[in-house]
Amino acid sequence: MQISFVSASYVCDAIGYPGVEFDWGEAERVTTERATPQVFAELLDRLGPARLDAVEVWKAHAGPWTWKLADFVALRQIIERRGLSVVSFASGLGDARENPDRVEVTFQAARVLGASVIADWASRDMVANVYPFCEKYGIKIGVENHPEKTAEELLETIRGYEDWVGVAMDTGNFAAAGGDPVKAIYALKGHIVHVHFKDILPGGGHRCCALGKGVVDVKGAVKALKDIGYDGPLSIEIETGDHDPTEEIIESAETLRALW
């Protein structure tokens, strides 16, 4: 088991944490414009006390359509010098039928970073069209649940493509959609290739908080993952609009260590 974090947790870092409600598109745009390997290095340095094993790079922090190859090489070196590895590239795949060149560049970036998984929501049609790139580059797709309430919906999305396509289980997204993340983990046995560990505050929406402080049964989710034999990364995701999430990521890493 590796403890990681999704760099999308810092979605509002570049725009100064304007408030709980924020414009995700604008935050992503500014993050992409300002992204450099050194910016990512500074995020990692803030997270030193979390004693992470790995990182999950969000596309806005390493733009596959704006960076040069040398930038990705430099970022990987920065990460590896800190004793970390890249477990996933959290990237918008889009539709390979409409923009195959852009999709291929995403896979190329993931390969340079050393990521074995690209995590993103995808429809069944998208899975079918991205699948050939998985085989070509030796990188799996983890389909992240967003609107889905049940494991069955995800299993239908990946059916027939399971050799290269699995599920990027997001505990907070299941809870926000009204589903049961613990039940879903058991139902997805053998298909989970990545985990976004997210907790959310009561009252609806995706207001993230430190693991164990919200509505998600974090202890139950850890037990379920152990019960089904999952031994991949646990990637902490705490996207905040009104404050720096660093302390909550550090706290959450300690929580996962204690529970595991």
CB hemisphere CA count around 78 (13 angstroms): 19
pLDDT digits (tens, 9 = 90+) for 204-246: 778 999 999 999 999 999 999 999 999 999 999 999 999 999 9
Q: Which CATH number fits domain 2-259: 3.40.50.10800, 3.40.50.10490, 2.60.40.10, 3.20.20.150?
A: 3.20.20.150
Cα(156)–Cα(123) distance, integer angstroms: 10
Residue-level pLDDT at 255: 98
| Residues 188 and 170 sit within 8 Å (Cβ to Cβ) | no
How far the first Cα of the chain sits from its last, in Å, is: 9
Residue-level pLDDT at 90: 93
Nearest to 78 by CA among 94, 100, 55: 55
pLDDT digits (tens, 9 = 90+) for 5-50: 999 999 999 999 999 999 999 999 999 999 999 999 999 999 999 9
Cα(21)–Cα(31) distance, integer angstroms: 17
| Residues 23 and 72 sit within 8 Å (Cβ to Cβ) | no
Asked if pLDDT for residue 1 goes beyond 90, the answer is no
Asked if pLDDT for residue 144 goes beyond 90, the answer is yes
Q: Can you give the residue ranges of every domain in the chain?
A: 2-259
Rounded to the nearest 10 degrees, what angle do helices 151-158 and 124-137 cross at?
A: 60
Residue-level pLDDT at 95: 67
Eight-class DSSP state of 50: G
| Residues 211 and 181 sit within 8 Å (Cβ to Cβ) | no
Tokens at 16, concatenated? 């100064």
Cα(255)–Cα(259) distance, integer angstroms: 6
Confidence of residue 176 (pLDDT cuts 50, 70, 90): very high
Give the 3-state secondary structure of residue 6.
Answer: strand
H and E: helices and strands count for the chain = 10, 10
Report the b/e string of 192-212 with b at 16+ CB within 10 A.
Answer: bbbbbbbbbeeeeebbbbbbb
> What is the maximum alpha-carbon separation in the chain?
45
Confidence of residue 171 (pLDDT cuts 50, 70, 90): very high
Rounded to two decimals, what is the model's pTM? 0.94
